[in-house]
């Protein structure tokens, strides 16, 4: 096993609150272990374009509370080609970088898996940074908790106006392939129904639930719709409900990218810090092609291939809460 003396760190894919806290932990943990650190701007694309920035402890001061990512992020088409990956490798060797900490989601780890197979002398350890919480091998991803809290704050405000006007609001939240944000925010926000990509939604059943609520004199309701839900999003669902319940007053709110921004919660800052420190320790121990995750409050390693190809099932107990409490 070769030793390492200089590492790179980058963020890739969609930004997530807590990425800056993670960068800070990686940099300072690496420095405390006598490693030099380079930040790679804009993920894999910056690796190809030779956007490398030496980082010191002071470089990451006053960022733990900031959303987004100081290293920027991008999705790289060039990295999908052997020529692009070769250029990235040459730039890493030019800067004498032995190992990388990659902060991102399934696309990031898929790219890292391919790269390390082609160039095994560069070790990569991944950290799960995505609001979607859709990686196997970890109970939580960095940014998920903040995104859920941002969503709940919006739901609470919308419920105030829904109750004032006797309306039913269909609130679309992020989640093209994963319903985690919708499920958690829906339960915490007291939603009457939650529509997810993982489940086929029966519009007739939804209409009956809303009708039953109206018969019980419910003056308003909240329906949470993940953007990847199979009926085509909140507006399409609202239109179908309206066609069956023409006297029902419906409104649609699409929260969009507001869920990505904002200062990370304490939970996300602590998770990011734990992951950053453990990533450096893993690299020093010779680990490669693995993701740092947290299971039952303990840090663990999961191979990239398993993290991106397997998905943990949604918490069925949360579904029971909706069925029991939304009356």
According to DSSP, the β-strands at 290-295 and 298-303 are: antiparallel
Contact 89, 119 (CB under 8 A): yes
> CA nearest 120: which of 37, 2, 10?
2
d(CA 53, CA 181) in angstroms, rounded, equals: 34
Which segments of 216-299 does DSSP mark as H helices, in order?
A: 234-244, 266-284
> CA nearest 214: which of 252, 167, 172?
167
Tokens of 300: 């663990």
d(CA 313, CA 19) in angstroms, rounded, equals: 25
d(CA 143, CA 291) in angstroms, rounded, equals: 16
132 is catalytic: yes
Q: Is 274 helix (H, G, I), strand (E, B) or coil?
A: helix
> CA nearest 100: which of 282, 269, 270?
282
Contact 186, 322 (CB under 8 A): yes
Residues in the chain: 327
Candidate list 132, 134, 145, 268, residue with the active-site label? 132
According to DSSP, the β-strands at 290-295 and 52-55 are: unpaired
Phi-psi sector, 166: left (phi>0), alpha (psi -120 to 50), beta? left
Residues annotated catalytic, as ranges: 132
């Amino acid at each position: 096993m070769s030793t390492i003396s200089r590492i790179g760190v980058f963020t890739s894919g969609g930004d997530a609150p807590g990425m800056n806290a993670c960068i800070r932990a990686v940099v300072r943990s690496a420095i405390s272990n006598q490693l030099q650190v380079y930040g790679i701007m804009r993920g894999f694309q910056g690796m190809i374009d030779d956007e490398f920035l030496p980082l010191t402890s002071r470089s990451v001061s006053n960022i733990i509370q900031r959303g987004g990512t100081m290293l920027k992020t991008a999705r790289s088409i060039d990295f999908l080609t052997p020529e692009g990956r070769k250029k990235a490798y040459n730039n890493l060797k030019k800067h004498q970088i032995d190992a990388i900490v990659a902060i991102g989601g399934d696309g990031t780890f898929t790219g890292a898996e391919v790269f390390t197979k082609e160039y095994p002398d560069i070790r990569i350890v991944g950290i799960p940074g995505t609001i979607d919480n859709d990686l196997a091998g970890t109970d939580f991803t960095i940014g998920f908790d903040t995104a859920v809290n941002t969503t709940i704050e919006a739901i609470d405000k919308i419920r105030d106006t829904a109750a004032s006007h006797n309306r039913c609001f269909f609130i679309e939240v992020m989640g093209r392939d994963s319903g985690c944000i919708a499920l958690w925010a829906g339960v915490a926000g007291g939603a009457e129904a939650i529509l997810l990509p993982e489940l086929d939604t029966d519009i007739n059943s939804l209409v009956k639930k809303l009708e039953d609520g109206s018969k019980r004199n419910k003056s308003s309701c909240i329906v949470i719709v993940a953007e990847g839900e199979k009926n085509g999003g909140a507006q399409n669902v609202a239109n179908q409900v309206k066609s069956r319940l023409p006297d029902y007053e419906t409104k649609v709110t699409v929260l969009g990218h507001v869920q990505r921004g904002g200062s990370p919660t304490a939970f996300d800052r602590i998770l990011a810090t734990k992951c950053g420190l453990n990533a450096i320790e893993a690299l020093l121990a010779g680990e490669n092609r693995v993701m740092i995750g947290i299971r039952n409050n303990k840090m663990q390693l999961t191979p990239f291939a398993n993290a991106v190809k397997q998905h943990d099932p949604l918490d069925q107990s949360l579904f029971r809460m909706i069925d029991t409490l939304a009356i």
